[in-house]
């Protein structure tokens, strides 16, 4: 019995040593073991700009275009002439004034596919992503009721200590009207899956930049009075986390900021902790996605028995495999085995920043009639990539390899998850610190069979 195993092991080792394409036809292993790129933040001006050279830029451009050309999940490239995209962006990329601008032009080329998941990251930005780090003025905003309205403020930012609060309007930025700066940033932003996801690219052009740089900004308070502050761009680390608690209503509440595989155990424990609650709120607002495997494993806790919840879409129409097609990494028919951990009513909270894995989870539960989705329409960014590929020159490439369709044929990419209970974002609620989405979710849970009294009794038992 040992001999066949030894032969198989030797054959496997030989295949790996030879880099056998039959063993790993999708280059999954090389992408999963991608190293952290070295930091460029400390380089002097001009050093990074001359790092690649013309030959290096051509190698990077060829790698990005060819990889997408050969491996993108949709052989029709979302109706885009991918060869023409190269012709448009190649001259600009090769003539870019700096390497950072070069990587930005490559990302714009990828953006022609109108796909938030297919993107190019510069070495500097790739490292920040690896460290869960961002550089920002410390607040977020959205176009709302005719203004650019602050939706959140980081508590460690200059913005917070200057008195900026959600609900205020950004009026001036860098010496010009904020609406003009935003319109220019939006025009310069790469194409993406939806207008919601393109907004994030535009906002980053205003808020992000080199650490230590400053912006003079003017804000309008709720009563219309202005104030001006000098804000420094700082590094912020946002480590993915899961938190939970029993709400005063007695309903369970679980908040997940990212579908990071390392959080799967904590997420399952949170659901188990509230298994006696008569209703469960799962808050995925601002959660950009992550591991589809974790999505499926967590969703399984909310079902009983086998659930067929859709199908994967691949370039070849075949599963994504490893080991000479012996092992299917992504199966075409998507099935989960329910564990019945929690079978009470569920509400899932989403907003425009809920993307990818969060949309898969919300839509999975919604299409099965298992949860009420509450909030605002999600990002519309539901494709999947299997990890970053190393681009010559130190950049990273993500490219969509899997699409997804639910049993009724519905696709979320480019559309978003539309809530069962829509709750528009309102300036008055932001100014008052009122979470109307959470309020509506609890009302929906009560309508599904739990009232406040029974919730308190269940929580106390």
Residues 6+ apart with CB under 8 A from 224: none
CATH number, domain containing residue 291: 3.90.226.10
Predicted confidence band at 31 (pLDDT cuts at 50, 70, 90)? low
Give residue-wise pLDDT tens across range 368-381: 999 999 999 999 99
CATH number, domain containing residue 163: 2.30.42.10
Residue for token digits 């508590």?
155
Domain boundary among 210, 237, 264: 237
Considering the domain architecture, whether residues 145 and 275 belong to the same structural domain is answered as: no
- Work out the mean pLDDT of the chain and round it to a whole number: 88
Tell me whether residue 300 is in a domain: yes
Considering the domain architecture, whether residues 246 and 321 belong to the same structural domain is answered as: yes
3 state SS of 321: strand
pLDDT of residue 272: 98
Give residue-wise pLDDT tens across range 41-75: 333 333 334 478 999 999 999 999 999 999 999 99
Considering the domain architecture, whether residues 121 and 141 belong to the same structural domain is answered as: no
Residues 6+ apart with CB under 8 A from 2: none
Tell me whether residue 18 is in a domain: no
Considering the domain architecture, whether residues 156 and 83 belong to the same structural domain is answered as: no
Considering the domain architecture, whether residues 215 and 333 belong to the same structural domain is answered as: no
Select from 264, 294, 286 the least CA-distant residue to 384.
294
Considering the domain architecture, whether residues 263 and 410 belong to the same structural domain is answered as: yes
Q: Which two tokens stand for residue 42?
A: 């400390």
Tell me whether residue 8 is in a domain: no
Tell me whether residue 329 is in a domain: yes
Give residue-wise pLDDT tens across range 170-201: 999 999 999 999 999 999 999 999 999 999 99
Domain boundary among 79, 99, 130: 130
Count the domains in the chain: 3
pTM for the whole structure: 0.86
Considering the domain architecture, whether residues 259 and 405 belong to the same structural domain is answered as: yes
Considering the domain architecture, whether residues 122 and 144 belong to the same structural domain is answered as: no
Domain boundary among 76, 97, 130: 130
Residues 6+ apart with CB under 8 A from 300: 336, 337, 338, 339
Considering the domain architecture, whether residues 380 and 439 belong to the same structural domain is answered as: yes
Boundaries of domain holding 106: 24-130
Considering the domain architecture, whether residues 209 and 271 belong to the same structural domain is answered as: no
């Amino acid at each position: 019995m040992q001999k066949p195993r030894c032969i198989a092991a030797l054959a496997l080792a030989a295949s790996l040593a030879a880099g056998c394409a039959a063993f790993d036809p999708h280059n999954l292993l090389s992408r999963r073991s991608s190293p952290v790129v070295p930091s460029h933040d400390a380089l002097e001006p001009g050093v990074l700009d001359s790092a690649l050279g013309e030959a290096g830029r051509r190698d990077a451009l060829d790698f990005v275009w060819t990889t997408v050309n050969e491996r993108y999940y949709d052989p029709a490239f979302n109706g885009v002439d991918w060869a023409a995209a190269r012709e448009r962006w190649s001259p600009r990329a090769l003539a870019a004034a700096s390497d950072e601008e070069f990587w930005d032009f490559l990302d714009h080329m990828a953006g022609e596919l109108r796909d938030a998941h297919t993107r190019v990251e510069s070495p500097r930005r790739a490292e920040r992503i690896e460290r869960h780090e961002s550089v920002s003025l410390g607040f977020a905003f959205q176009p709302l009721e005719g203004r650019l309205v602050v939706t959140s403020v980081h508590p460690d930012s200059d913005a917070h200590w200057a008195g900026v609060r959600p609900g205020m309007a950004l009026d001036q930025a860098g010496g010009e009207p904020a609406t003009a700066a935003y319109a220019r940033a939006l025009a310069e932003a790469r194409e993406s899956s939806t207008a919601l996801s393109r907004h994030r690219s535009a906002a980053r052009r205003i808020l992000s930049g080199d650490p230590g740089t400053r912006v003079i900004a003017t804000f309008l308070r709720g009563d219309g009075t202005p104030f001006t502050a000098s804000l420094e761009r700082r590094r912020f680390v946002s480590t993915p986390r899961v938190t939970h608690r029993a709400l005063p209503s007695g309903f369970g509440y679980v908040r997940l900021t990212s579908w990071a595989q390392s959080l799967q155990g904590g997420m399952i424990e949170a659901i188990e902790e509230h298994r006696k609650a008569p209703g469960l709120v799962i808050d995925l607002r601002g959660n950009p996605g992550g591991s589809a495997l974790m999505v499926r494993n967590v969703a399984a806790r909310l079902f009983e028995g086998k659930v067929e919840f859709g199908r994967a879409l691949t370039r070849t129409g075949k599963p994504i495999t490893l080991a000479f097609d012996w092992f299917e990494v992504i199966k075409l028919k998507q099935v989960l085995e329910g564990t019945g951990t929690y079978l009470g009513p569920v509400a899932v909270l989403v907003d425009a920043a809920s993307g990818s894995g969060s949309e898969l989870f919300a839509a999975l539960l919604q299409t099965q009639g298992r949860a009420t989705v509450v909030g605002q329409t999600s990002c519309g960014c539901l494709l999947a990539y299997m990890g970053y590929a190393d681009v010559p020159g130190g950049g990273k490439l993500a490219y969509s390899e899997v699409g997804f369709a639910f049993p009724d044929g519905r696709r979320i990419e480019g559309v978003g998850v539309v809530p069962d209970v829509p709750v528009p974002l309102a300036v008055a609620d932001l100014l008052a610190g009122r979470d109307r989405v959470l309020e509506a979710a609890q009302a929906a849970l009560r309508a599904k069979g739990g009232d406040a009294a029974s919730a308190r009794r269940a929580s106390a038992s």
